[in-house]
Structure 1
């Protein structure tokens, strides 16, 4: 009996690793993908094809759809059966597993050594938490396939996407033509008017009414065009990544960094704008939660022909607390008699003491 996991990531039991897409538990999204593919294939052969007049059109439909469906079936089985793990992980697949302890190590992989798999890995290998293994040239973990996509199966993954795009578009055109043809009364073979016997229709090779056939063909067209839209978007995205020599993992990390930087700059700009607008009318303390301390700083004042002398003045330092994604940041605002400066620093770089 198959086990289906409804969690966001189907993680194997503690200390085990996933071998391929068929390792239990199955992911519910994976099951949905298999059901949709099976639905489209069955409806193509046992609904769309059988309702085309027995003529070259029917055999042409079967032939053209088989050119896409049969290779897709082979590629899908092969892609989901391959284990994309590192060779060292495959050689140690039956050995004991090690649980990662963040108190001992900052990252799972340090200096090309995985502390979970306990093996040396290649440069672009990543440890997938869902599969619990290091993947060679890791690209991403695909929940639709319930397996990782990496250097060992990435080209096959792109080929599968291309076949899905072609096949789903073919099914959409086929179902659309038969839906339109079901409203025609002409008996001409060129009208592509579907029939099953004398003015009868069939769904899954079971004789049905015209209305039932039209509803089913409409459903096939809808599922096909949605599948085509999602898949062609994904294929275009991976073509874009291949053009720029990036992996999905690299793209996600770069977007996360850019988003963090943009948020920091936006908050800093808003802080600076609010400070400038309110500095003349009310103190900064009424706008931000802050801590103020007064310190004496010696300043060297150099004259053209005179000796240097030290002058002391008060400097106000305001520290504004703020959270920026994973780590805390503090915006330090320094005011002096001659200049104003805004400094963004890490929380550990600001002295929290009340006295200098």
Structure 2
């Protein structure tokens, strides 16, 4: 098994289960994130703080940085070593797990029983293919942390996002001001007093030229700004999810399902405009299509409401009785969908029956 994975998901042998973020294989994005964290922390303490002109400003910068960085490191370490799996998975023996046969089981989790972990799980649990285990109250698999985020570590994950945004914003402002100050003359209030002597700045506590300091401070500004922007976007997304009382997994599955409905309706509108493009059967016959095109829903399309038994209860049900009914089945790993679409005599398509089952297995986001 590879020590570092460069794929979107790690393929584990049967019986192997990743306990936490330190379990092999490591992900290259995880390693990149650790390098960025170490770089920004070292540059903050050993370059930016020591080049501040006044000593009281130096100590203020160190204190503010520590208030942000220390809690972040604590949260990061806990998330790294915490096992977010279901308690039943953690407590079970570490013997070899069964191979999952899709010819026998359609889904990984059936009736709250995982056919891979061979344990009963809670309602919101999902089996992560990257970690090869069921995650308690699954939210998503984070490739930056190389572990799953769920009910056991979501609050720590959310707090860590806030600390990253605040910390990188502070480092960006500090490095930008020092970068500008290095170009000012001594009469300016923004001018920097070199740490060692005239034109001798401290870079990682090593005496360096002004040019070297300017280049590194510009690099720090750029990296901290990009990190702050990316993390801020992710934080805003999770704030939205908390407001909607949903999870990343449910959000993605819902969007995927809605997109399938839109694409299905438009596919049948195209069939209505081109009746000779595909052979169709009479009412009650089905046509299987496994491919959908990324089209948007037209305004004149209507989605009919359905009951659990699949009968149309819309006001247009009587008008559509003489139309043709097609069944479309699309499979994407563990995301089976089935849509029954009625093509009415006026060539306007609507969803006649929609049945959908969420995935039991989650790949990386």
Counterpart Cα distance in 1 of 2:172 and 2:226? 10
Residue 110 of structure 1, CA deviation = 0.8
Counterpart Cα distance in 2 of 1:112 and 1:219? 50
DSSP 3-state at the match of 1:167: helix
Counterpart Cα distance in 1 of 2:281 and 2:265? 24
Aligned to 1:195: 194
| 1:5 is aligned to 2:8 | no
DSSP 3-state at the match of 2:99: coil
Aligned to 1:235: 235
Aligned to 2:143: 143
Q: Which runs of 5+ in 1 are unaligned?
A: 276-283, 294-315, 347-356
Aligned to 2:172: 172
Structure with bigger gyration radius: 1
DSSP 3-state at the match of 2:148: strand
Q: Describe the shift of the 1:333–1:136 C-alpha distance in structure 2 as closer, same or farther (beyond 3 A).
A: closer
Count how many residue pairs are aligned between Structure 1 and Structure 2: 309
Q: Is the 8 A contact 2:265 2:351 kept in 1?
A: no
Residue 171 of structure 1, CA deviation = 0.3
| 1:120 is aligned to 2:120 | yes
Q: Which string of whole-angstrom CA distances, capped at 9 and with x for unpartnered residues, describes residues 271-309 of structure 1? A: 44x35xxxxxxxx43xx132578xxxxxxxxxxxxxxxx
Counterpart Cα distance in 1 of 2:4 and 2:115? 29
Q: Which string of whole-angstrom CA distances, capped at 9 and with x for unpartnered residues, describes residues 100-132 of structure 1? A: 111111111111111111111111111111101
Aligned to 1:244: 244
Aligned to 1:158: 158
Residue 270 of structure 1, CA deviation = 3.7
Aligned to 2:279: 290
Counterpart Cα distance in 2 of 1:32 and 1:216? 18
Residue 194 of structure 1, CA deviation = 4.7
Aligned to 2:56: 56
Aligned to 2:185: 185
DSSP 3-state at the match of 2:39: helix
Counterpart Cα distance in 2 of 1:209 and 1:122? 60
Q: Is the 8 A contact 2:196 2:207 kept in 1?
A: no
Residue 320 of structure 1, CA deviation = 8.8
Q: Which runs of 5+ in 2 are unaligned?
A: 283-321, 354-365
Structure holding more strand per residue:
1
Aligned to 1:38: 38
Q: Is the 8 A contact 1:47 1:202 kept in 2?
A: yes
Q: Describe the shift of the 1:165–1:222 C-alpha distance in structure 2 as closer, same or farther (beyond 3 A).
A: same
Counterpart Cα distance in 2 of 1:181 and 1:145? 36
Counterpart Cα distance in 1 of 2:183 and 2:348? 75
Residue 198 of structure 1, CA deviation = 2.0
DSSP 3-state at the match of 1:90: helix
Residue 333 of structure 1, CA deviation = 5.3
Q: Describe the shift of the 1:249–1:330 C-alpha distance in structure 2 as closer, same or farther (beyond 3 A).
A: closer
Counterpart Cα distance in 2 of 1:161 and 1:5? 24
Relative contact order, CA 8 A, sep 6+: which one is greater?
Answer: 2
Counterpart Cα distance in 2 of 1:340 and 1:55? 78
Counterpart Cα distance in 2 of 1:210 and 1:340? 73
TM-score of the pair, normalised by structure 1: 0.79
Q: Describe the shift of the 1:194–1:73 C-alpha distance in structure 2 as closer, same or farther (beyond 3 A).
A: farther
Q: Describe the shift of the 1:98–1:171 C-alpha distance in structure 2 as closer, same or farther (beyond 3 A).
A: same
Aligned-residue CA RMSD in angstroms?
2.8
Q: Describe the shift of the 1:27–1:136 C-alpha distance in structure 2 as closer, same or farther (beyond 3 A).
A: same
Residue 51 of structure 1, CA deviation = 1.3
Q: Describe the shift of the 1:328–1:132 C-alpha distance in structure 2 as closer, same or farther (beyond 3 A).
A: same
TM-score of the pair, normalised by structure 2: 0.77
Q: Is the 8 A contact 1:290 1:319 kept in 2?
A: no
Residue 253 of structure 1, CA deviation = 0.6
Alignment of 1:1-356 (within 5 A): 3-186=3-186, 190-191=189-190, 193-199=192-198, 200-272=200-272, 274=273, 284-285=275-276, 288-290=277-279, 326=332
Residue 144 of structure 1, CA deviation = 0.3
